[in-house]
Amino acid sequence: MLPSDFINALRQAAGAANVLTDPADCWPYGYDNSRRHALPEAVAFATDHEVVHDIVALCYRYALPLVARGRGTGTTGATVPLQGGLVLSLERMDKIVHVDVDNRVMVVQPGATNQAVQEAAAVHGFFWPPDPTSAAFCTVGGNLAYNSAGPRAVKYGTPRENTLGLRAVTGSGVEIRTGVYTTKGVVGYDLTRLLIGSEGTLAVITEATLKLTPLPETKRLLQAAYRDIHSAAQAVSRIMAQPVTPCALEFIDGRAIAMIRDYARIPLPEQAGAMLMIEVDGQHVAIDAAVDSIRAAAANQGLLEIKAAGNDAETAALWATRKALSPALRTIAPKKINEDVVVPVSRMAELIGGLDELAQEFAIIIVNFGHAGNGNIHVNLLVNPDDPAELQRAERCLDRVFDLVLKLNGTLSGEHGVGIEKRDFVAREIATPALELMRGIKTLFDPKGILNPGKMLPPLIADS
């Protein structure tokens, strides 16, 4: 139960209409797309930087937990208020502050959706490269806090490569400005990149200076089917080694292909063990040459067929293959445990081979697809949530999946982050000296540990 003088001060800081305390009203702010839930004791909606500042300072004074929240579309439980306290929703801070066309910069409040940013940029012939599939619903604040991205990352990078600076409030209620307004700058430590991906554990972001990129004139999509994962993985390495970097290089494994064929009735080659969706963008005058270059790199002994879309309808038809996958997965199993591991591109075939062995050992169906150009593979363990034995096997299988990824010099998450879901595995990837530095950084930014407590960094044994 929160102290009543805290609630009064909160109403004063945010405005009474921007504070919820009734548990029924607070309930929807206690979950995210991980399907975990914990009830916040109050919810406040920030309307500008000063309000965020006052609220964080208030929570600091009372040493109360504060969880920043965008739209709650995250998949790893990072917005779930495990320790109660306050959920600070940024969804009403959604202004595009300004677009500076001459410098290719956009300044936004954190509650603007990714799609609103894309639409405001497109008016001037630009886009912001991070493109999570959830763009219509997720906020820039969430994108930054998770370093979220999508297919375009292979060519244009993630929020870390596309954000110039931030305004934020640390856990002790101190305003900081990080980064620069220019496309070069090397003064001081790079706090912008530190805050990006920190899952609301170091500071609440109140403004972001985004780096925009000119929209390409045109795009062309190719679909390549391979006999097996080895030839597809070899093609990925070859495609990434020639000068035309695709703006999407997506992968679908053999089991996924079979599902698409069976459930969506899309004709795909019977012998296909892997498929790549390759998109190139650029100028009209250069696009045919770019496609030729990709075709040449994609061709190897395992290539069964390659199709290039010639118009919008053909492009839509080719993407339909990829889009058919999620409904097909839902038909097979009511629940999927969706991981987003990353391995070096050259080791993707070993990863998929290892996953096949684990699927057999634990009698779990595993379907893999994802952003092959980055080696970022969505590993989906299909399970029946009403079968406790199967769930247990899946948990043990997942443990081994993470070991496999780390053995291949990979990382546990490419875009979904750690939150609570992967927190207990972090120490397998990050050794003690670096973890200790991270804990020290957390204490500097957030001396009372009020910001998103219990997330991202594994607890010290004594705390657990």
Sites of contact with ligand FAD (CB under 6 A)? 32-33, 67-75, 78-79, 90, 110, 132-134, 138-139, 141-143, 145-146, 148-150, 199-200, 204-205, 415-416, 452
Q: Considering only CA atoms, which of 441, 413, 425, 415 is closest in space to residue 146? A: 415
CA distance 101 to 122: 11
Task: Kindly state the tokens that stand for 314.
Answer: 């053909």
Q: Which is nearer to ligand FAD, 231 or 380 (CB)?
A: 380
**Least distance CB 112 / ligand FAD (angstroms):** 10
**Least distance CB 130 / ligand FAD (angstroms):** 8
**Least distance CB 297 / ligand FAD (angstroms):** 25
CA distance 206 to 292: 45
Cβ contact 72:418 at 8 Å: no
| Residue 54 CB-half CA count within 13 A | 18
Q: Which is nearer to ligand FAD, 416 or 442 (CB)?
A: 416
Q: Which is nearer to ligand FAD, 299 or 320 (CB)?
A: 320
Q: Which is nearer to ligand FAD, 47 or 134 (CB)?
A: 134
**Least distance CB 151 / ligand FAD (angstroms):** 8
Q: Which is nearer to ligand FAD, 248 or 364 (CB)?
A: 248
What residues contact residue 304 under an 8 Å CB cut-off, 6+ apart?
225, 226, 227, 269, 271, 272
Q: Which is nearer to ligand FAD, 166 or 348 (CB)?
A: 166
In order of 47, 253, 346, 353, 388, the CA distances from 360 in angstroms are: 52, 16, 24, 11, 18
**Least distance CB 61 / ligand FAD (angstroms):** 20
**Least distance CB 65 / ligand FAD (angstroms):** 11
Q: Which is nearer to ligand FAD, 133 or 183 (CB)?
A: 133
**Least distance CB 225 / ligand FAD (angstroms):** 24
Q: Which is nearer to ligand FAD, 89 or 321 (CB)?
A: 89
Q: How far is CA 165 from the centre of its chain?
A: 20
**Least distance CB 5 / ligand FAD (angstroms):** 26
What residues contact residue 5 under an 8 Å CB cut-off, 6+ apart?
none
